[in-house]
A and B are shown apart, each in its own frame.
Chain A
């Protein structure tokens, strides 16, 4: 099928009434949840996740994806009006967005960043459309050894920039892999590590894991910290949204720069919207002829990060859809959804399920447009959401998480697992271990093992197959270098702290 035929197929799929409905629903829900500070992206998606079970895989993905980039749009509102980021990626927007709001220019900030996000999102989607087929074609030449090494690199890379020491991140990946090994053995189907518990023979529920580690532990740490806040709502009305000519002039280069940066960093596993937005702020400040304006309401300071954030959200799908390698925890959940519906992501996905693949991509266009429509005229409504007191919110979230988790398999056992993972998430948070790598390890672990064993079978037990094959060797070398850097920097940091204290 030619490229245009594929696009047409995608558009057809995306525009069916069902998919359209759930796309709109997804972005709306995502935006609403994103606006509320105290619920981050992962908690939000974990909560909304079970709803997608009742849907067809294509529809489910469209909705989930919509929720994801919807939270980016929504989080910005909290950043600008409350100086509290609604999602981590929006943190940078507080720096110049809140000062603008204090100057009575909240409407302008909100409007302009909507445009920035839209442009960024479109840019990212174009990159996604252009590069996915290229990557897919390349990846089809990969054998199990290359896959194994690629997954190793993806997992290691995702630890490098997570908060906390990289080595701790790698430890979490390893724990995740072990958790993923519980269930049935990949080849024989016999139960493994189930300790005789029948409920475990299908493996641990990914919902319970995600909701527990991200949702519950986030709530536990938010209690007492987040309270009712007063959003600055002056200047938020239609008239208040008109930007000055000067601001428009200053905006479009930052948006272009931000979109490009976002597109690049979104594609790399391990980096995503948050990193892209931080970096693009730094770049703008460096490139600007008047860096002193930053931090006091410079329009460049919000346009670039928002464009980068949304662009990265789109291109994050590239490794996920084409290679089956999630670059972030959210992507791991997407892969989890696919697997639960019986679809294995990977290079074959584009050819075996073109309607899913291209339908999803085309739905991004629709989602972005819907978000612009939602954000511009209806902004006053969302602002009101910010006034919901947290002490009412968090029990609701807990209940929704419990019901959602239960409803997947109608098993109270899953809810117990949910509780255990909530406990584990709390412990990890206390001890300073990042959670996202664990989810990645959990999702990729079984695939890692399968590819490893298959590669070993093909090479008849020869471990050197991973180093003999050039692509595999290259990937493993890069991973080794990254691991080495992680170990070295953690030892160095310890030494510096120790010396600093003594001296």
Chain B
């Protein structure tokens, strides 16, 4: 659990930084062109500037006022996103079956009291379901096994 004391300020600053980065990057790397003949970079540049501006306003608002701190639970996020990452890593190399099993396992850990027998059944059931729906039902050429 981490605590963010002023989320508007944090949010505003992130936006300001993003906008600034985008504008500078586009300015340096792409042709802006003129109004008459706009280049690739003109639109993203303008939008980046706009974002910087909005970020500035939000940061100012956030800095001036007091808002209650926000508690952030990191564990569910890390595990769910970790599960997705595992899928991305393994689906091509090890096939869908393994990928699904691993993903289910990692995601299930996000629950405070994981029940392993239920998870094992779920993993098997899901694999079968995916196979039925995507491969058999929709004719999608997903590789179930890759060895």
Contacts and interface: CB of A to CB of B under 8 A. Distances in A.
A490 B61 contact: yes
Contacts of A452: 43
B83 A398 contact: yes
Nearest to A483: B54
Contact of A170 (B18, B35, B54, B66): B54
A485 interface: no
A460 B36 CA distance: 5
B20 interface: no
Nearest to B65: A494
Interface core residue of A216, A399, A418 (most chain B CB under 10 Å): A399
A188 B110 CA distance: 46
A495 B72 contact: no
Interface in A475-498: 487, 490-491, 493-495, 497-498
Nearest to A452: B43
B36 A167 contact: no
Interface in B34-86: 34-38, 40-41, 43-44, 47-48, 50-51, 54-55, 57-58, 61-62, 64-67, 70, 72-73, 76-77, 80-81, 83-85
Given A168-B58, A431-B10, A501-B66, A406 B87 contact: yes
B32 interface: no
Contacts of A453: 38, 43
A422 B37 contact: no
A195 to B, nearest CB: 10
Contacts of A493: 65
Interface in A61-120: none
A162 to B, nearest CB: 15
A171 B15 contact: yes
Given A178-B47, A430-B4, A456 B36 contact: yes
Interface in B74-114: 76-77, 80-81, 83-85, 87-89, 91-92, 96, 99-100, 103-104, 107-108, 110-112, 114
Contacts of A340: none
A110 to B, nearest CB: 29
A335 B33 CA distance: 31
B17 interface: no
Classify chain B: how many residues form its interface, as a range: 35 or more
Nearest to A450: B43
A350 interface: no
Most buried by B among A171, A419, A456: A171
B51 A431 contact: no
B47 A54 contact: no
A220 B140 CA distance: 29
A410 interface: yes
A175 B21 CA distance: 13
Contact of A399 (B8, B57, B103, B114): B103
Nearest to A396: B126
A178 B88 CA distance: 25
B6 to A, nearest CB: 10
Binding site secondary structure of chain B: helix
Interface string B108-127: 10111011001100100010
B61 to A, nearest CB: 5
Given A178-B47, A407-B134, A430-B70, A402 B87 contact: yes
A415 B47 contact: no
Interface string A420-432: 0011001000111
A224 interface: yes
A449 B33 CA distance: 14
Interface stretch (A300-308, A358-366, A387-395): A387-395
Contact of B47 (A181, A399, A406): A181
A422 B35 contact: no
Contacts of A456: 35-36, 38
Contacts of B85: 416, 419
A177 to B, nearest CB: 5
Given A54-B139, A398-B84, A495-B65, 13 more contacts: A51-B138, A167-B57, A168-B58, A175-B18, A188-B40, A190-B40, A192-B30, A220-B80, A223-B111, A398-B83, A399-B104, A494-B62, A497-B66
Chain A to chain B: the 3 pairs with minimum beta-carbon distance, closest first:
A461-B36, A415-B88, A494-B65
25 contacts: A54-B138, A168-B58, A174-B19, A174-B47, A174-B50, A192-B44, A193-B44, A223-B76, A395-B107, A396-B104, A402-B103, A406-B87, A407-B134, A412-B89, A415-B88, A415-B91, A431-B7, A453-B38, A456-B38, A460-B36, A461-B35, A462-B35, A487-B57, A497-B66, A497-B67
